[in-house]
Structure 1
Amino acid sequence: MKNILIVDDHLQITEVLKEYALKEGWNPFIASDGETALELFSKQPIEVVLLDVMLPKLDGFGVCKMIREISNVPIIMVTAKGEDYHRIMGLDIGADDYIVKPFSPNEVMARIRAILRRIERTEENQHTIVRLTYDNLIVYLEEKRVTIDEQEICLTKRELELLWLLLSNREKVFSRDNLLDSLWGIDYFGDARTVDTHIKRLRAKLDEVNHTNWEIATVWGQGYKFEGRK
């Protein structure tokens, strides 16, 4: 049974989501503030976190940052309608996805199902190829590590998956829709700006160490690819 952590200070919302999660066969843990969320996370093996931004004691951004210090568990941020800066900030600090209030409980469940399917696919792939190398770049899938010239680059789970996908298909151009389907799942209800934000953040982290023989390239009007120059 999958453990899902639902963090929201509105009792009606958490009760509805809890009921839907139970129908999916998941085990929901509920927190109404940021401190309780972190306490539950430290005590339970959580597979997915559904995290509201506006919380008592410690807001969702603070919770997300602290979880990212110790775990790459998928995090879906919940933001208010029209608060684009919340969405962007959430993605910048390591959230994997976002959903906007008001939302349909069925949509939330679809997002979680998509994430769980992606985790299962990644775990299956770990039994085949577990490391990819190009020039001074090494990606260790099983260990969830990335190094450039033996210097470790700290990536979120989603960023690592994005790099792995591009690197394992060198020179292949992925459209934003291709990347959304591959990494976020066909049930994803967001937009292509999510991909652009993750690419921007991934590039910034990779650029911390010099790499003249390769890059994550933009193919204008088409999408993105891993481009080698060796």
Structure 2
Amino acid sequence: MATYVLIHGAASDSWYWHRVIPLLRAAGHDVVTPDLPVSDPACGIPEYTQSAIETIGEHVADGLIVVAQSLGGFTAAMLATRVPTKLLVYLAAMAPKAGETPGEWWEATGYSEAKQENDARLGIGENPDTLVTFFHDVPEDLAGEALGRPVQQSDGPFHSPPMPELPEVPTRFLLCRDDRMFPADFQRRMAKERLGITADEMIGGHLPALAHPEELVRHLERFRVEAGL
């Protein structure tokens, strides 16, 4: 049995993983899903990390598989420096860099140009709405439920201190080939430049835990087995 810690992204909460949790538990694993204090403007990545540590609690002794989606990549990287982590998985995530703040990430990575080029290639106009960018492959009922959840994202994490050195733990990066928020070519480059690894790839857009939970769990379990866990 492994213990998975699932870290949600911005403007979200642990509900994001609700289709993944039963699949991992059915495979015999423990699952921990912290609710980060995303609505609190006084909280940044250090506070998000501390909140996750408190939720993990006694599970910390097990050694963890930490999976982080989107903005959660920053929290996961810091978390893996503070709790025993056997495997770190970035999922459609912002790959951090030591010495850089989350607020600096956007310009430092060349994100805006990459997204504009991808939008143009797909024929998406300027300033696409949330449904177009995030929910284009999510079932309509789930998209409606997600958009109706009362979760507001503060800008606290983007004013966080620079990131510490990245954890020296086995790391995988799983991108989504149809991601409109973080385009696939951009993510392939981020995995190489920032983490020194080749990204794994799966179907779908930016929210794979909602759109393709079975496919996502197959990849996570493959990573676990390949890591000898």
Same fold per superposition (TM over 0.5): no
Q: TM-score, normalised by structure 1?
A: 0.41
Q: Which has the larger radius of gyration?
A: 1
Higher strand share: 1
TM-score (norm 2): 0.41
